[in-house]
Structure 1
Amino acid sequence: MDDLETKRLTLHLMSPAEVADIVAGEPGANARWSPGYPSDGDKAGARRYLSTCETVGDPRPFGSFEISRRENGQVIGGMGFHGVPDEHGQVTIGYGLAPEARGMGYASEALRALLEFARSQGVASVKADANLDNIASHRVMTAAGMRLVGVDDQLHHYLVDWTDKDDA
């Protein structure tokens, strides 16, 4: 699969070996990581991906993506699926950016690209969540076209559903 590209970003679908570098906290030979990347959240997502590879096989193209700036190739974050679509065609996604890359619209830009990719792969809906106090992430998901569908004592839950006429 080719990388996904936006105006300012490249989303690179990583191999299991590249994901293992994130767990280890060691950039591969060609990686240029931004300060603050990978975060603990990136490492947790990488461990989940590797566990999936071990138990059910490599889920690519529903795997982990590195987000880098096209202008200089610096990796500024990660984004990915929590696995293959379920029996209803739904996937869950997560993302994060290095602190120095936040507040510039990169997360919304990358999320829009990943949502478009998911839809092109026949996914029916995508869900994500964010902590109650993570207002920036709430804005990212809304800006990317997701809608708030629920709130519990810890999280705001978002969804984009292409089976709904309003989102088609």
Structure 2
Amino acid sequence: MRHRGGEHVTEAVASCLALLRTVVDQDWEGVKAGHLEWSCRATTEHIASDLIAYAGQLAGRAQRAYVPFDIAVDEGTDNEGLLQVVETTGALLTAAVRTTPPGVRAFHPYPFRSANPEGFAAMGVAEVLLHTHDIAEGLGVTYEPAAELAEFVLTTIFPHVRPGPDHWRTLLWATGRGDLPGRAPVTEWRWNNNLVLATERLTLQGVTPAAAADLSKGGDGGFTWVVGGPFEGTRQAAEMVLKAYGSGVHRPEFGLFVLVREEDNLAVGGIGFHGAPDEEGLAEVGYDLVEGVRGRGYASEALRALSDHSLTRDDVQALIAAIHEDNAPSQGVAARAGYVRATVEEERFAYEQRDMDRDLRLYVRRSAPRQGQ
């Protein structure tokens, strides 16, 4: 599966234009857009501004901040002319997404300071869909975009939101624009681009629910793999991500990461967690590599980086790896990443209280003492 972000941007902009051209003769300046303080005209300008900003981030490969530019609509531009600006800026974002290699990331503040082309596409689609909804509400017309566009946004930049039976209503609820039965109203929200961690030879790229769904079905998850990949353990981990996502308990920073080799941008394996930390701050890690690239230190390098990152969090006290007693290579991976064999008491507790298989051996890496502890 190659990502379809550019195509989704095109479809979202087309749906926006199709609706707004039916009300192009109305007064957009004197009417507020839904619950926003902006007028319908200002909101339309905002859509165009976001689309060109995201295109600029990707095209300029911005790393530290937004590229310092904006667009200004010529004085006297009518509503139809404004829609031409939206159409043009949408085409520019589509082109930027399609021509930017998947591994490239550019600055965006939330929540991990960067996004890939698919992330920028999803943010662009979200801006178009949600603000077209706001404008439609202000002008008294109904807007219903294609369900797959809302699903693309939810599974790419709202991985923390439990999916509902209606993707569009779920997206509206998740952004404070509607109600869902059985769920409390949303008053504050932000989207969530995937986390990426860099090592000397790899990048650990967080897997979105959209990518996990493809991996679980036998696809490539949007990655280009070395021969033989992805390995079965990565597909099983993707199924775990989907299960957590469907239950509303998925936390992306404790999900699955694909290991991408810097030298050729090929995916070589997977690493991640069996779930979020428990009440004691304990989380279990797992990892695998495609057979043809084993023995090169990639797994230790990735495990060390992921562990270093996770153990700085206040909600993580220790990480564990359960490894088969006969799997000496995997035990070596854990040891090189700073893990040590658990105590007899800890293993006994894991066997008796956590139902760990007795053929497994427990390895532990603990967080460093923090100030005040």
Instruction: Tell me the TM-score normalised to structure 2 length.
Output: 0.42
**2:304 & 2:238 partners in 1: Cα distance?**
21
SS, match of residue 137 in structure 1 = helix
| Shift in Å, 1:57 | 3.2
Larger RCO, structure (CA 8 Å, separation 6 or more)? 1
Letter of the 1:157 partner, please give it: L
Corresponding letter in the other structure for 2:207: M
Q: Give the match's secondary structure for 2:304.
A: helix
After superposition, residues 18-29 of structure 1 pair within 5 angstroms as 18-28=211-221
Q: 1:164: Cα distance to partner?
A: 6.8
Q: Tell me the CA shift for residue 36 of structure 1.
A: 2.2
Which residue of structure 2 lines up, in the alignment, with residue 10 of structure 1? 203
1:136 corresponds in structure 2 to: 329
Deviation at 1:40, TM superposition (A): 2.0
CA distance in 2, matches of 1:31, 1:143: 27
Aligned partner of 2:224 among 32, 35, 44: 32
- Higher helix fraction (1 or 2): 2
Length, aligned pairs only: 164
Question: Is the contact between residue 81 and residue 94 of structure 1 (CA under 8 Å) also seen in structure 2?
Answer: yes
1:119 corresponding residue in structure 2? 311
- Which has the larger strand fraction? 1
Tell whether the 8 Å contact from 2:311 to 2:366 is kept in structure 1 after alignment.
no
Give how far 1:75 is off.
0.3
Give the match's secondary structure for 1:35: coil
1:73-92 equivalence runs, <5 A: 73-92=265-284
* Separation (CA, whole Å) in 2 of partners of 1:33 and 1:121: 31
Distance 1:8 1:140 in 2: 16
Question: Per-residue deviation at 1:119?
Answer: 1.1
Give the aligned residue type for 1:95: Y
Residue 158 (str. 1) matches residue 363 (str. 2): yes
> Deviations 1:92-137 (Å, cap 9, x if unpaired)?
1100000111000000000000001111222110001111111100
1:50-105 per-position Cα deviation (integer Å, ceiling 9, x unaligned): 10111133311111100010111100000001111111111111000001110000
Contact 2:225 2:267 in 1 (8 A): yes
Gaps in structure 1 of 5+ consecutive residues:
none
Distance 1:39 1:100 in 2: 11
The code of the aligned residue for 2:307 comes to L
1:69 equivalent in structure 2: 261
Contact 2:322–2:363 (CA under 8 A) maintained in structure 1: yes
- Point out the structure with max Rg over C-alpha: 2
Q: After TM superposition, which residue ranges in structure 1, 4 or more long, deviate above 6 angstroms?
A: none
Q: 1:103 aligns with which of 278, 285, 295?
A: 295
Identity %: 36
Paired letter, 1:83:
G
User: Partners of 1:138 and 1:118 in 2: how far apart?
Assistant: 20
| Counterpart code for 1:103 | G
